[in-house]
């Protein structure tokens, strides 16, 4: 156990100290580490402190912005609080509020006067959309010019309706109302009206204000670099009162934000969504009980820190690393250069080159080593030269003897010996579970037997198809997935007569002239179809590169001449000659081809009913 631990420690020390690495790499790495590591540590500490400072400055700036916005918003809605007092204390309004039934309201004919009070108050402030005075279950009056227009429909269903204080202190909420056939967000200043006699709430005053003023304030707020941050406002129940995205107004804020704010008066926190972080800073308005929140993407906040400080760290590190590399290379060059030359000459000696000698430039240990290497190479060169020439003569005589034996053996080979040899190879392959080799040997043996077997001039289509299948199977061992083939031969055609060795040369042309020039998959299809009562044709098609028009015209002309080719007895011309010699003039080959699309060979033969 102690020996294993000691061995592990030795291997770790060897790895950490780079004992197996070249000297140049060691010096370069150590020099670079001595510079880069301290610089990286200083850079990381500087970057962290700068980021923290930037974050604190962003918080302070956000709080300043929030305080300004709070003061403006509080003053803005304080003006509406004064307006509510003026409306409620107006003599016409007081008279209206004292009425107890709808009949009394109609008899007093006070509604037009109260509507005038509401209109005058609305006209005095351009951002007021509508002012509505509600006397519970008696009468509702608003300042809208259009008859029947109301912004308080369904107000009883609002989430805040039951929480309006009965003390008469106004509250402010965000709502979405129907105006001119479309939804529009508004801010509603709501005041409960109590019966002066019973002090029980029996009415409500609602002032609906548009978002023009808040938009104006928000547009002036620039948060983060390039103004990517924004400001939004939440009420005391976490509903959004203002947001740059108007579709979010009146909706519940994100649960994480509400929980992070809690009951705190002010503070900041960081949220994370979809891999991006955001700095949220908030402060509560005591008069409105609203939370004014600023949201700044951390990416925008820290961009300057990354770009400036990160660029400085990278530039400084790169400069010092370059200096360290230059010094380390210069320092190591005098040591490494002679050792490298020695190594290069040793490689030449390993490869049998004994011409090179090391220049001895110094008298130190490396110089003595170089001198000893030169002496060793001289001795080895002499010895190997003697051994080499004697071995060369012996090998040359042995090769001549083998060549003579091989020629004698080749002269003794005959077809039957080839059949037996292929069968033996097949048996040995199957014995060793090499089915592909066995299949190929069996296919080649059958192909050779068919070639030399004397079966007459004609054979059945079945025999020709079987031989072509064997040939294609052999070729597929060579081309693998690049070769695909298909047979479509009906049963009646298998019994028809065809000239021996007609299909195989044509299929071979598909591979030689088509597949070997085609980098993709070559597809060969062999099919048979009837033409007339005494005709049928065999079609051999491929998707090869096709035949150029000039070459195709020459080939057709040579086929029409019906002369056997002198190049090979199984060539295209010889197939045409044998078919016409056996079957007659009308029969034979027809070729069609399009460059880039493929070639089709039609073999027309006489049909013999069975």
Predicted local distance difference test score (pLDDT) of residue 489: 92
pLDDT single digits (tens) 376-413 = 877 777 777 777 676 766 666 565 554 544 443 444 44
Q: What is the CATH number of the domain that holds 196?
A: 3.30.450.20
Task: State the average pLDDT over residues 479-491.
Answer: 88
Question: Is residue 410 situated within a structural domain?
Answer: no
Q: Is the CB of residue 143 less than 8 Å from the CB of residue 122? A: yes
Quote the CA–CA distance of 606 and 588 in Å, as a whole number: 10
Domain membership of residue 592 (yes or no) is: yes
Please report the beta strands in 116-209, taking only residues with DSSP state E, as ranges in sequence order.
128-135, 139-142, 171-179, 182-194, 201-209
Task: Please write the tens of the pLDDT for every residue from 447-459.
Answer: 666 665 555 678 8
Least confident of 22-26, 205-209, 556-560: 22-26
Taking the C-alpha atoms of residue 421 and residue 490, their distance in angstroms, rounded to an integer, is 36
- Boundary of a domain, candidates 299, 327, 352: 299
CA–CA distances in Å: residue 477 to residues 149, 238, 486: 87, 75, 16
C-alpha–C-alpha distance, residues 469 and 489, integer Å: 12
Q: What is the mean pLDDT of residues 131-141?
A: 80
What distances in angstroms separate CA 69 from CA 48, 60, 75, 204, 288, one per listed residue?
A: 31, 14, 10, 28, 13
- Alpha carbon 502 to its chain's center: 53
- The answer, yes or no, to whether residue 101 has pLDDT greater than 80, is no
347 within some domain: no
Q: What pLDDT score does 526 carry?
A: 94
**Model pLDDT, residue 413:** 41
What would the pLDDT profile of 574-591 be if each residue is shown by its tens digit? 888 888 888 888 888 999
Query: Residue 501's domain is classified under what CATH number?
Result: 3.30.565.10
Please report whether residue 441 resides in a domain: no
Residue that is last in its domain, among 233, 265, 299:
299
Query: 297 Cβ partners below 8 Å, 6+ apart?
Result: 224, 228, 229, 276, 277, 278, 279
Domain boundary among 299, 333, 363: 299
Rounded to an integer, what distance in angstroms lies between the CA atom of residue 130 and that of residue 144? Answer: 6
What pLDDT does 317 receive?
67
Is the pLDDT reported for residue 423 higher than 60? no
> 3-state DSSP call for residue 124?
coil
CA distance 604 to 538: 7
Is the sign of the CA dihedral 256, 258, 261, 262 positive or negative? negative
When pLDDT is averaged across residues 129-136 and rounded to a whole number, the result is: 82
Structure tokens, 213: 């003023």
pLDDT above 60: residue 182: yes
Let me know if residue 450 belongs to a domain: no
> How does DSSP classify residue 275?
T
Q: Quick check: 605 pLDDT over 80? A: yes
Range of the domain at 547: 474-606
Q: Examine the pLDDT at 478 and tell me if it is beyond 80.
A: no
The predicted structure's pLDDT at residue 173 = 81
User: What pLDDT is attached to residue 414?
Assistant: 46
- Please report whether residue 229 resides in a domain: yes
pLDDT given for residue 226 in this prediction = 58
Q: Please list the alpha-helical segments (H only) found in 200-287.
A: 212-220, 255-261
Q: Is residue 387 part of a domain?
A: no
Residues 6+ apart with CB under 8 A from 559: 572, 573, 576, 588, 589, 591
331: pLDDT strictly greater than 90: no
For residues 297 and 77, the answer to whether their CB atoms sit within 8 Å is no
The reported pLDDT for the residue numbered 601 is: 93
Determine the average pLDDT of the residues in 1-27. 62
For residues 235 and 221, give the distance between their C-alpha atoms in angstroms, rounded to a whole number. 20
pLDDT tens digits for range 207-230: 888 878 778 777 777 776 656 778
Q: Is residue 465 included in any domain, yes or no?
A: no
The predicted model gives 479-506 an average pLDDT of 88
Whole-prediction pTM value?
0.45
Q: Residue for token digits 């072509």?
A: 468
pLDDT of residue 412: 40
* Number of domains the chain is built from: 2
């Amino acid at each position: 156990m102690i020996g294993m631990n000691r061995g592990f420690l030795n291997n770790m020390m060897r790895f950490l100290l780079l004992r197996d690495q070249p000297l140049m790499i060691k010096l370069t790495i150590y020099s670079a580490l001595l510079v880069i590591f301290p610089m990286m540590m200083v850079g990381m500490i500087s970057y962290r402190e700068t980021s923290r400072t930037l974050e604190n400055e962003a918080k302070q700036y956000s709080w300043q912005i929030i305080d300004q916005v709070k003061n403006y918003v509080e003053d803005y809605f304080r003006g509406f609080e004064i307006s509510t007092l003026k409306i409620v204390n107006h003599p016409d309004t007081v008279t209206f509020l004292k009425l107890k039934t709808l009949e009394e309201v109609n008899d007093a004919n006070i509604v037009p006067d109260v509507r005038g009070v509401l209109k005058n108050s609305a006209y005095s402030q351009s951002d007021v959309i509508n002012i509505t005075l509600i006397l519970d279950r008696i009468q509702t009056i608003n300042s809208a010019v259009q008859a029947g227009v109301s912004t308080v429909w369904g107000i009883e269903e609002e989430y805040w309706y039951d929480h309006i204080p009965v003390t008469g202190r106004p509250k402010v909420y965000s709502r979405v109302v129907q105006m001119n056939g479309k939804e529009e967000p508004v801010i509603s200043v709501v005041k409960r009206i109590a019966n002066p006699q019973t002090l029980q709430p029996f009415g409500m005053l609602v002032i609906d204000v548009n978002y023009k003023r808040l938009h104006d304030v928000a547009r002036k707020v620039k948060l983060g670099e390039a103004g990517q941050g924004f400001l939004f406002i939440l009420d005391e129940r976490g509903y959004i009162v203002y947001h740059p995205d108007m579709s979010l107004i009146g909706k519940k804020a994100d649960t994480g934000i509400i929980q992070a704010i809690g009951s705190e008066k002010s503070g900041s926190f960081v949220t994370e969504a979809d891999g991006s972080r955001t700095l949220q800073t908030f402060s509560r308005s005591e008069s409105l009980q609203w939370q004014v929140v600023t949201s700044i993407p951390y990416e925008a906040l820290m961009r300057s820190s990354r770009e400036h400080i990160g660029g400085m760290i990278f530039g400084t590190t790169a400069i010092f690393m370059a200096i360290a590399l230059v010094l380390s290379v210069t320092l190591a060059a005098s040591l490494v250069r002679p050792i490298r030359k020695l190594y290069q000459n040793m490689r030449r000696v390993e490869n049998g080159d004994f011409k090179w000698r090391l220049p001895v430039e110094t008298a130190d240990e490396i110089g003595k080593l170089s001198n000893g290497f030169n002496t060793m190479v001289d001795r080895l060169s002499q010895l190997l030269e003697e051994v080499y020439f004697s071995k060369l003569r012996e090998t040359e005589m042995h090769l001549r003897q083998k060549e003579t034996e091989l020629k004698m053996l080749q002269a003794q080979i005959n077809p039957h010996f080839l059949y037996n040899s292929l069968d033996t190879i097949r048996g040995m392959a199957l014995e060793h579970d090499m089915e592909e080799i066995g299949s190929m040997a069996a296919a080649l043996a059958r192909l050779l037997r068919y070639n030399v077997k004397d079966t007459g001039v004609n054979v059945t289509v079945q025999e020709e198809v079987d031989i072509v299948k064997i040939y294609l199977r052999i070729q597929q061992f060579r081309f693998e997935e690049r070769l695909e083939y298909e047979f479509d031969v009906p049963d009646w055609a298998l019994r028809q007569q065809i000239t021996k060795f007609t299909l195989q040369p044509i299929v071979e042309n598909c591979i030689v002239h088509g597949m070997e020039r085609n980098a993709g998959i070559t597809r060969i299809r062999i099919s048979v179809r009837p033409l007339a009562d005494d005709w049928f044709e065999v079609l051999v098609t491929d998707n090869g590169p096709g035949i150029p028009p000039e070459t195709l015209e020459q080939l057709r002309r040579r086929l029409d001449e019906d002369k056997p080719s002198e190049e090979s007895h199984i060539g295209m011309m010889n197939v045409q000659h044998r078919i016409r010699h056996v079957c007659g003039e009308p029969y034979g080959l027809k070729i069609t081809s399009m460059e880039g699309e493929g070639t089709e060979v039609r073999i027309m033969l006489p049909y013999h009913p069975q």
